[in-house]
Structure 1
């Protein structure tokens, strides 16, 4: 779906922070050695660049992320290559990208050590995995190498595929291959957002509407594509937050057409649309004009927190001034989806993103993020009620690809 050159250009803006950090970690044959104890509740997936410019990811447990220095040295689960991390329930799913088409679950043993669970592979790298229920996951495979959109139902307890359903890309578009941007299940429907990107040049010439495909669930039968011209396509390159869902089952579609997140043009203002719970059309009575509230700025990343609130990473530059693929500069805020209010976080520096899924851990009224600052990377603990942030430990890595708690 994308080349390694493109991923490096977008996903790794912080490579200059560390030339080649070398750690000694356990091998895959001994992946629970020094992999944590019962008191190590925080888990971070640290990306380390080697001398040959390739990356290795170390998923490492920590008892405290607010003091001292955090390193992968001598512990953790090691995975060379390119990986995306997402936590669902008590499992972290490591999704391989580029030449790696495997998915591995990372869980804790009864004694608090990290262990790998399952190992499944696919024809192409998965675009994403989401939770359907306590025991079931749904994964989607969308690649420019295939004319099919493939859904895989996965047993969450064993990390094994239980069924696969595929549909032709022509259901979604007669243009070049669609690029994944988000997926959510609400009631008996699965919603899939996408945008059109040339698989060779990555140009995005079609930005005049938001499009979401609707499938039945659990049958995963294609139903229709819904569109809305009030804003442009939902989501962006590799952010995976084109769609979020609240407790009532309302689906929100985030649109920005940010050059910093892969768009070659912007033709509509950024905003947030809604699909009301139980409906399969865009709610014409709801539009969150993000640019009007932020003074012409757009949300790059969005993580739903609860009670109608979401954590947002907002690009500090208007689209016309953004450097393409830069994923920045970003300011962090809390967004009230109901009141349509944006409140910026105090005490958090303006920063660059990693050009990929936002690595942020929600823990009650706190959100933990690893933020590049100066020549280092530091954990910040965000108080989502008071809109303040406290600086924590320094992280010894090129960037943080995942932030979890088990």
Structure 2
């Protein structure tokens, strides 16, 4: 594992406050807490052969092995055209929602922790893969979501992006609204002089007060790679969608992320909005900010994360930890003060975070790390104590963990 000098210095400063003793992962197992009544957690894994399973547990912190062997896992391979479609799936209010074949959108429920069944579905008239879920707008009964790609209207020079308000009780669409994101007017070229013929990929949807902020980036139809190192954000009134405008900032690269369910923007307790940025030519990241009540990027704020191996192996879900801190894998960050609080790779004793989805419960973060010894474990991180506890081990025969979810 490569850990840079910045992370080591941060760890040296914080270890005195950590309740986790410096030891190998094998000696950091916690005492087994009493499971919460009726709790159900799931771990979405994929094997090297391409099979996908849901491994369920009533207690992720129990010292046990979660495995698909002997029919202990729920085989969901047949519901997916490819294992990577976990990135087009979402756990919401205790049920899974996933794109099956590009039009059929399905609702699944885990039954007795041993199987799952399709409880409903909706057939879109055209191409559909689940994109972003607008958590700020969604309610218990209505999931607000987008699809991965809208339609480029070359006549109007806009991306027409639909937003669906889905009734999760009967899987019908209550309403659909459409935003129109203006495209660039210049014509970028490849180094060989070819036309990139760029298209827009929405990377985030954030509703804050009476405004909707839509982060997006440009990709090339010629190379199928990200182009233009500028963060673009479409801002409009919400819910009217009126008074739309484009704001942009070139200090950190494009608005990071892709069109699948992970969201790389977040608001803090002051309602300041932070946007993760990324350079096209290197895996270097940064943070921009739009202050509360403002609709432009803060010219006095940029947190350059180029010296930190953020999202080293996987684009994970950003999690707000409370008390001004946020988890941008594998680091705990204080964005307002531009500080790295902890490197979880050090706290867990070596390894890398390996999920696209993690979750918070009772003020604690739950994520999966693959250790330097190639063992997979669930870890609980306590932001208040800046400490970790090791929980369940995951079958070593898997090749990837996608989701770590609490279903109830």
Give the TM-score normalised by structure 1: 0.70
The offset of 1:145, in angstroms, is 6.7
Residue in structure 1 matched with residue 42 of structure 2 by the alignment: 43
Residue in structure 2 matched with residue 403 of structure 1 by the alignment: 404
Residue in structure 2 matched with residue 62 of structure 1 by the alignment: 57
Distance 1:180 1:130, change over 3 A: same
Counterpart-to-counterpart distance in 2, 1:266 and 1:96:
31
Residue in structure 2 matched with residue 137 of structure 1 by the alignment: 143
The offset of 1:254, in angstroms, is 0.7
Counterpart-to-counterpart distance in 2, 1:55 and 1:199:
31
Query: Secondary structure at the residue paired with 1:83?
Result: helix
Counterpart-to-counterpart distance in 2, 1:240 and 1:200:
25
Instruction: Decide whether the 8 Å contact of 1:193 with 1:242 is kept in 2.
Output: no
The offset of 1:108, in angstroms, is 7.0
| Pairing 1:298-317 to 2, within 5 Å after superposition | 298=310, 301=316, 302-313=318-329
Distance 1:218 1:282, change over 3 A: same
Say yes or no: does 1:289 pair with 2:304.
Answer: yes
RMSD over aligned Cα atoms = 3.3
Residue in structure 2 matched with residue 232 of structure 1 by the alignment: 253
Counterpart-to-counterpart distance in 1, 2:257 and 2:48:
25
| Pairing 1:29-108 to 2, within 5 Å after superposition | 39-48=38-47, 50=49, 54-56=50-52, 58-66=53-61, 67-72=63-68, 73-74=71-72, 76=74, 78=76, 79-81=79-81, 82-84=85-87, 85-88=89-92, 90-96=93-99, 99-106=101-108
Counterpart-to-counterpart distance in 1, 2:309 and 2:170:
43
Distance 1:307 1:233, change over 3 A: same
Distance 1:393 1:199, change over 3 A: farther
Query: Secondary structure at the residue paired with 1:398?
Result: strand
Counterpart-to-counterpart distance in 1, 2:119 and 2:270:
32
| Pairing 1:157-306 to 2, within 5 Å after superposition | 157-168=169-180, 171-174=182-185, 176-199=198-221, 201-207=223-229, 209-221=230-242, 223-237=244-258, 240-257=262-279, 263=280, 265-266=281-282, 270-291=285-306, 295=307, 297-298=309-310, 301=316, 302-306=318-322
Counterpart-to-counterpart distance in 1, 2:114 and 2:272:
36
Say yes or no: does 1:124 pair with 2:139.
Answer: no
Counterpart-to-counterpart distance in 2, 1:199 and 1:222:
30
Instruction: Decide whether the 8 Å contact of 2:381 with 2:389 is kept in 1.
Output: yes
Q: Which has the higher contact order (CA 8 A, sep 6+)?
A: 2
Aligned length: 332
Query: Secondary structure at the residue paired with 2:347?
Result: coil
The offset of 1:212, in angstroms, is 0.8
Q: Which consecutive unaligned segments of at least 5 residues does structure 1 have?
A: 1-36, 258-262, 314-331
Q: Which consecutive unaligned segments of at least 5 residues does structure 2 have?
A: 1-35, 154-159, 186-196
Considering only CA atoms, is the larger Rg found in Structure 1 or Structure 2? 2
